[in-house]
Chain A
Amino acid sequence: MASISIRNLVKRYGSFTVIPDLNLEIADHEFVVFVGPSGCGKSTLLRIIAGLEPMTAGDLYIGDKRVNGVQAAQRDIAMVFQDYALYPHMRVYDNMSFALELRGTPKAEIDARVRRAAALLHIEPYLDRKPKELSGGQRQRVAMGRAIVRNPKAFLFDEPLSNLDAKLRGQVRAEIKALSQELKTTMVFVTHDQIEAMTMADRIVVLQGGVVQQYDTPETVYERPANQFVAGFIGSPAMNFFPVEWRDDRVVLSQIGAAVPLDDASSRRLQKAGNGVLGIRPEHFGVVTDPADGIAVNVKLVEPLGSDTLIHFDLAGVSAIARVDPELRPRLGDRLSVRPQPGKIHLFDGNSGEVLR
């Protein structure tokens, strides 16, 4: 068990810079999720921590030890790969015992640890099977078992759920979360799936272009995104954005000049900036009965999800989505009045995308 400290990390491939200058502190026992779009550098960062990829500059500490240049084999970390990377010629038992055998662990202890991990992951019946005789979910568990038998300083997960079907993914996600609470070991998990990030992490690192956009708890990242990128990336469906400006002592949608009913604090922030981008999550649109209280929109698509319903509409030249009560039973072409819920709107700088404070 150990903390992980990344200081001024730079990663370049030739003249192409993947990570320009990154600093990150992961506390002992913490479950941190790296999330971001493809090519944001999250897997590269994980591989650098694992020792599978050299860094161009900077320092990396696992616990108190600086591990720059230390081989992956000597870092005492365990990793679960996207394709599980099980040894195809070994039985499940051997896959799990291999690392312990390399370290010269006594046979009895190896056996005890393998069986304990197998029991924890419910893979005892498969110990004598080869990986090709297992389903995707079983292979995934074996890959986790191979990691946990070692009792390493940290676990690294590189998109381990992306090859599973939706149902199994949800199940394994919960199992990993439960495992992290039981093992109390530092865990770093890479995903492009924001639901995985939100549900599993103690803290989320949102990456874009090799730069940390925000590093905070899932709640904070969701409720108080640091910038427009984070706001748009976290949350499904994504946050709606509308260009707004301060005109005639009120906040209006830039394109159509329609007034946006905002609370005083938000209005003051925009007044100070002059213009910006208004962000509203789909669930923070309210449907109002009095047209004077909201902005009139035409429903152009309805997506009933059961628990709630998504309605699509155009507002100020922007295609927007609102999550509404299914009891409302909106229909295609209905004219509704919507308004942002008080205190639930986000304002960003029109140029930098940073949140307006």
Chain B
Amino acid sequence: MSQVQTQGPTAATRRIDALAAVMRYSTLGALVALLIFNVLFTRHFLAMQTLDVNLTQVAAIVIVGVGMTLVIATGGIDLSVGSLMAISGAIAPIIFLNKVFNIGEIHLAVAVAMIVAVLLAGAFGWFNGWLITRFRIQPIIATLVLFIAGRGIAQVMTNGNLQPFKLDAFQWIGLGRLFAITDVYRGLPIQVAIMIVLVVVAAWVLKRSLFGRQILAIGGNERAARLSGVPVAQVKRWVYCISGLCAGVAGLVVIAINSSSDANQVGLGMELDAIAAVAVGGTLLSGGRATITGTLIGALIIQLVRYTMLANGVPDDVAKLAKAALIVAAVWLQGQGRA
């Protein structure tokens, strides 16, 4: 081992690392600070109810944010996720309400509805990836196509009608609970469980799998990745497909909570919420460095800031300003880290 000499990092790189560390822990620190603030100043904050509300509201953003993190890790962006949620949310009731063909057994109908909805969103995601890799269209433009057209497709599928429903077998995904303890704990909302599973799996894939490595290599230096034999087009298509699948799941969660599907409303503005969570979480927006847990923390921070303000009587419009300020701060920190 005599040849492996230590080359001390230069002052400049040490500064960058210090900043990167600040960035990494500043998001976590911000979350902790927010929690402490709320414990001290927000009434009833330590109630189970509060945790429930916040986790439930953040779940859809995190589910979409997981796919978005992978997309951004390759140096891309996916604007279509909100519209894909609308498509998924539109097709599922059509199937389980037996509008097209009659599936007698309701559980089977729900299962078919969920699978078809999620796969359809995934297929549209694949289409995004195909546009981007086949025609070398910039991701922001390519996914703008479905951002615009996707909601239109959802409206055509539903003739622009609201689809109300009351179906426990389906709404389980938005309202159901796991591990309930009588009189003590109402149980973990299913959507939160889905969120946790997705976060854990995606974080592990990004860190340990060949696919994760390839994603980060493409985002870090696409030309070098291609010259090293990384199947760039194939990886990108999968990443956009996964983003679509995540949006599909989130779409189901949202309509289940609402007991209705409105193609005009489902997933509206979701792309920006998801991108904000990714940015605040510390993923490099230019690609090559990504953190799934960061995205989770980022989404929690945004949610908690909004909750804190609402709980303390600040109007929602002002809360939006705070969200914007958070994003600016996160992006500024990133710029510092790379300077």
Does B bind A?
A: no
